[in-house]
Amino acid sequence: MSEHPLWPGDSGTLLEGSRRALVQLVRGPHLSANRHGRLWAALLGDEDAIRSRLADLFLDLVVDRESEIAFVRNVTAEIETPQVVRTAPLTFLDTAALLHLRQLLLRAAPGERVIVGSDELGDQLGVYHGKDRGDPALFGKRVNATITKLEKYGILARTSTEGRFEISPVLRLVLGADEVAAIHAEFRRIAGDGASRGAAVEGNDEDGEDE
């Protein structure tokens, strides 16, 4: 039986606050002192026990005390493990937005809130107009879809000012140097493939003119 039962027949061993912190971590996308003050305190006070419960679920707990943020990720192990935390597909524009937001975070002083406007983000992503170059309204919809997705995943949070969002410090942890290097490599590969296809098309056109 539980030492601190919350209902008849409760067999849990964690305190109520620790259980709620555990639920928030599993539910995601993260737990922060800024948004979940009591749960953050409960996590720090019972971290070992919560970490153990998460390990039972094949989950690893990441705690950044400086940024006062915690989240869980699938454990990396030599054995095959179930993927408990679902991954979300990102478009090219989503990924480009993440890289820009991460740069803004890295430029800020430790603990400083970083705010970005939807118009500013749209301007930064303008270089990726691609097929939407002749249709600004369609590109604007794509940018808004990216913002909505990043808001859903806890990367962006609305502020009291319309069209302004706070960037979550969790992005520093989720998108580390290795991940950024891999993304840049993929961007270069895509750019190279595009250049090769363009050269091939140009060559075909020239051949057609010679005939």
pLDDT digits (tens, 9 = 90+) for 148-179: 999 998 899 999 999 999 999 889 888 777 77
DSSP 8-state secondary structure symbol assigned to residue 16: H
For 26, 46, 57, 91, 126, the CA distances from 73, given in Å and listed in that order, are 9, 19, 11, 21, 32
Which residues have C-beta within 8 Å of that of residue 100, sequence separation ≥ 6? 121, 124, 125
Nearest alpha carbon to residue 32 among 162, 138, 168, 141: 168
Q: How far is CA 105 from CA 84, 99, 161, in A?
A: 28, 10, 20
Residue 46 confidence (pLDDT)? 97
- Quick one: pLDDT band at residue 86, thresholds 50, 70, 90? confident
Per-residue confidence (pLDDT) for residue 191, from 0 to 100: 60
Q: Please say if the pLDDT value at position 201 is more than 70.
A: no
Q: Is the pLDDT assigned to residue 5 strictly greater than 60?
A: yes
In eight-state DSSP terms, residue 75 is: P
Pull the structure tokens for residue 209: 């003119």
Q: Residue written as tokens 């109520």? A: 16
* pLDDT band, very low/low/confident/very high, at 195 (cuts 50, 70, 90): very low
Given the structure tokens 């840049």, which residue do they identify? 184
Q: Residue 28 in contact with residue 74, Cβ under 8 Å?
A: no
Q: How far apart are CA 11 and CA 7, in angstroms?
A: 9
On whether the CB atoms of residues 72 and 26 are closer than 8 A, the answer is yes
pLDDT(194) > 60: no
Q: How does the average pLDDT of the chain come out, rounded?
A: 84
What residue has token string 């975070």? 105
Q: Which domains does the chain have, with CATH numbers?
A: 1-87 (1.10.10), 92-175 (1.10.10.2260)
Q: Give the pLDDT band (50/70/90) at residue 145.
A: very high
- Diameter over CA atoms, the chain: 88
Q: What CA–CA distance (Å, rounded) separates 76 from 53? A: 16
Residue type, 191: A
Round to whole Å and give the CA distance between 70 and 64: 6
Residue 157 amino acid letter: A
Which residues in 137-206 belong to E strands, given as ranges? 156-158, 164-167
Q: Does the pLDDT at position 61 exceed 60? A: yes
